[in-house]
Each structure stands twice: as structure tokens, then as C-alpha cells.
Amino acid sequence: MRLSRYFLPLLKENPAEAQIISHRLMLRSGMIKQSSSGIYSWLPMGFKVLKKIENIVHQEQKLAGHIPMLMPTLQSAELWKESGRYEDYGEEMLRIKDRHSRDLLYGPTNEELITDIFRSHVNSYRDLPLTLYHIQWKFRDERRPRFGVMRGREFYMKDGYNFDVDKDNALHSYNRHLISYLRTYERLGLKAIPMRADTGPIGGDYSHEFLVLAETGESEVFFDKSILNLSLGDRQVDFENKDQCQEIFNEWTSPYARTDETHDNASFDKMVPKDQQITSRAIEVGQIFYFGTKYSEAMGANVNNSEGVKIPVHMGSHGIGVSRLLGAIIEASHDDKGIIWPENVTPFQVGIINLKQGDEETDNVCSSIYKTFSDFGYDCLYDDTNERAGSKFATMDLIGIPWRITVGPRGVKNGVVEVTSRKSGESIELSPELAIRKITEIYEQAD
């Protein structure tokens, strides 16, 4: 993309309404525009990142054996009356009437809808286990939306639902989700810690939240420092293998890690030596639940077991806040100049700065690098505007592209361009060919 042809409405100053860093940077870098309280338009660059994150979430879900689908945003109130949550959910649920005065609602979550789909089509234990998921817009009419996309009213969420024949199998699904989430966060460049959690309005017996450490987080968390050393890396995971999944689950959940909701000082002191205890702020980026037969009994989602007896299925639900992740990633990865995108989610893999637009040789080198990247299928942002150098650098730093190629007449005379890492700020001079090769090698390793 040539910057002169793109739509990237940057702000030089911080908008007054934005208080936290990710919100400011998202507004300043032209990723989002607030449309009303807690509701945002996703401008081209924000949309690009959102789709990248969504794509990674899809890949990891499918890898874990979960099946993608799509349910509507508007749901009939009938199903919610059946589960009893139409009344329970309260003011957070946006209720709508259609022209026939039928009660509709903008879905805050999908347990009822998915259970209805399940009971209509699945009757036998032979069809289990089954995990369905979708990534869809949700609406929760928050009392106080804030922090930009971190606590919007409309938000984009992956939510998945598992159906299993018994508790043992359902807990395997639970473990599978935990692992697939850990993998997802790692690919997004985030350190997310699973913490034992309350179950809230979803209900149920088991729940873990995933928290990313950040000063601006809404939750206070307490954990054993050793958990920070855990990593899945390129470990081979067989999601069908119950024992292996259980082992990984144990590895990640046995060290003490709780949010302020479930924290208990006595256990903390008992389980974790003082010098290993960490207290911090964190952002919740996902949650998994096992709630047994809560919905299947209320809504009659039964299957025949091997003896021909109807039994309610065991279920769980699992969510990742996809739009919130943008905020969380920025909170975890920025400096005073702007965003620093992890390679896997960056809107553009590489940025080209032309230091002297209009200089024939410099223009030619830029165009040729740009064309090569485009031919390789890379998203490359070429700043071909007439801005001065300082302004172009500031823009690239603000929007956070991880790798930058700087082309100026001085270097071009010597046959070199400059490759700069956004993260370290370090630059090296290379020929254009080697510069391209270096960057493509980095991205080949990154994924």
C-alpha cells in the first residue's frame, strides 16, 4: 500500500476522551473512531489487525479440532426465557422489539442458541464429542464503557461450546480449550496466565480466566513468579490425547495464580515463597467454563447413551475477546513513540520510508523494493508522501510497523538502504536485495 493512496487519519495530539495508552494509540494511529459510547468503527488499519488476530484464533481453534460456524447477532427472546436467563441477565442485555412486537435481543453470548441447534440435530452419544464455535459481534450494554475497545459495548468475540457425554470428556474439552488458548496468546506475542476464576452469570463449576499483565489492567492478580517461565513453544500437542492435555493443564494451573475475585492470602503464603510472589495488574483476554448440564437440562439437550437412555449432555463455553486483544497487545507492546506490533499481527510487515520523494534514483529504489514485497505477498506500507523525513519516521513509529526500510539519496549512491527494527531501534545498512531477504527471513521464522 502506498501511504499517499491509503486512508490513515493520524492524530498528532491525544484526544481528550482517551485516558489509557492503547486507546490513545488506537485513536492517534487512525485504527478506530468512536461512533457512540462503547461502539467503534474500525478504520482500515484497525480492521486489518482485527482480521489478523481473528485469523490466528481460527487457525488455533481448528487445530484443536473445533468446528467454525456463524450464528446471528440478533436472537429471539424465546430461547432465553427457556433457559431462565432472559430475566437473570438484567440491564446488560440489549432488548429490541421487531415490527410485530416480538422480543429480540442482541446476543451477549450464545449458550442458548447453540444448545437449540444442538438439540435439534444431535440425538446420540455417537455424535459426541462436538465442539462448535464462531467469531461474531456481541453486545453488552455496559454501565460504563471505557478504555476504548477494551471495554466496549459492542465487541468481537470468539465463543466456543463443547458437548460431551460425561464430565470426564467435558473436562478434556476444557483442557483442550486451555491449551488452544495458550497457543493463541503465544502466537499473538502475549504472555497470558490462566487463573482460577469465578463463574459469574454463565454459571458452572470450573472456570479459568486468561490474564495479560499490564499496568492499566482492570484486575488485580496474584501469582507464583515461576509461571512466567512456562511456554508451549513448538511443543507438539495431540489434542485428542487426554493424558497429554491433562499434563499440560496441570503444568499451567498448579502454580498459584488468582485474580482478586478468588485470591486468598493464606493459600498464597502457603503455596508460594515470599520472593516468588507477584502482585500485579492485568487485563482479562479470555475465559473458559465447564458448567455441566446447566443448559442441557433446562433446554432438553439430551442424547441417547449406549444403553438407549436419554442423558443431558455436559457442556462448557469458552471465549476470547478478539477486539479486546488489540488493546491488550498495545498495552503490552508500546513505547513513548507509539505501538510496537508483534510480527504475527502487524497490519504491515514492512514499511518503506522514502527520504527524498521526487529524487529519481531514490524513488526507483523504493518502488522496486515495494514491488518485490508485493510480489512476495507481503503487506508493505510505502511512505511516498512529500512529508519531511522526521515526520515520516514519527508516523512509522506511531503505527508500529516492526521493520522499516529507509531509502535516501546518500545510501542509494553507495548501493545501500537501512533496515531498522521498531523494537530495538537498531539499524543496519544492506543492499536492497539483502534487506528484503533479511526481512522475509524474519517473517518466515516468526510464524
Partner RNA sequence: CGGGCUAUAGCGCAGUUUGGUAGCGCGUUCGUCUGGGGGACGAAAGGUCGUGGGUUCAAAUCCCGCUAGCCCGACCA
> What strands lie across the sheet with 403-407, from one edge to the other?
380-383, 350-354, 403-407, 417-421, 427-430
Window contacting RNA (CB under 7 A); options: 68-76, 162-170, 263-271, 409-417: 409-417
Give me the 261-300 binding string for RNA, x by CB under 7 A, dash otherwise: -----------------------xxxx-------------
- Region near RNA per CB under 7 A, out of 51-59, 144-152, 165-173, 270-278: 144-152
**107 lines the binding site for RNA (CB under 7 A):** no
Q: How far is CA 281 from CA 31, 64, 171, 324, in A?
A: 25, 30, 29, 16
In the bound complex, what is the minimum distance in angstroms from residue 279's beta carbon to RNA? 16
Q: Is 357 in the site for RNA (CB under 7 A)?
A: yes
From candidates 59, 76, 136, 219, binder to RNA by CB under 7 A: 219
Return the number of other C-beta atoms located less than 10 Å from residue 288's C-beta: 26
Q: Name the residue type at position 41.
A: S
Nearest of 364, 30, 376, 344 to residue 188 by alpha carbon: 344
Interface with RNA: number of residues (CB under 7 A): 70
Q: For RNA, which stretch binds (CB under 7 A), given 112-120, 136-144, 231-239, 250-258?
A: 136-144
Which residue(s) pair with 292 in the sheet? Answer: 315
- Phi, psi of 232, deg, nearest 5: -80, -30
126 touches RNA by CB under 7 A: no
Rank residues 169 and 333 by Cβ distance to RNA and give the closer one: 333
Min dist CB 274 to RNA, Å, is 27
- 314: helix, strand or coil: strand
Q: Shortest gap between Cβ of 118 and RNA (angstroms)? A: 21
Residue 345 is given by DSSP the state: T
Q: How far apart are the first and last CA of the chain?
A: 22
Closest distance between RNA and the C-beta of residue 271, in Å? 24
Asked whether 21 and 215 are in contact (CB, 8 A), the reply is: no
State yes or no: residue 153 binds RNA (CB under 7 A): yes
> Please, what is the minimum distance in Å from the beta carbon of residue 247 to RNA?
26
Q: Which is nearer to RNA, 276 or 368 (CB)?
A: 368
Residue 309, CA atoms < 13 Å, CB-side half-sphere: 3
When binding is defined by CB under 7 A, the residue of 355, 365, 401, 419 that contacts RNA is 355
Q: Which is nearer to RNA, 52 or 119 (CB)?
A: 52
Q: At what angle do helices 432-446 and 360-375 cross, to 10 degrees?
A: 30
Quick one: angle between helices 44-63 and 322-332, nearest 10?
Answer: 110
Q: How far is CA 372 from CA 350, 379, 383, 437, in A?
A: 12, 11, 16, 10
Interaction between residue 388 and RNA (CB under 7 A): yes
In sequence order, the 6+-apart residues with CB closer than 8 A to the CB of 328 are 22, 150, 190, 212, 214, 283, 285
Q: Which of residues 422-441 bind RNA (CB under 7 A)?
A: 425, 427
**Residue window 309-348: x/- pattern of binding to RNA, with contact defined by CB under 7 A:** ----------xxx-xx------------x-----------
Residues in contact with RNA by CB under 7 A are 10-17, 19-20, 34, 36-38, 92, 140, 142-147, 149-153, 155, 157, 200-202, 209, 218-219, 284-287, 319-321, 323-324, 337, 355-358, 386-391, 393-395, 397-398, 406-411, 418, 420, 425, 427
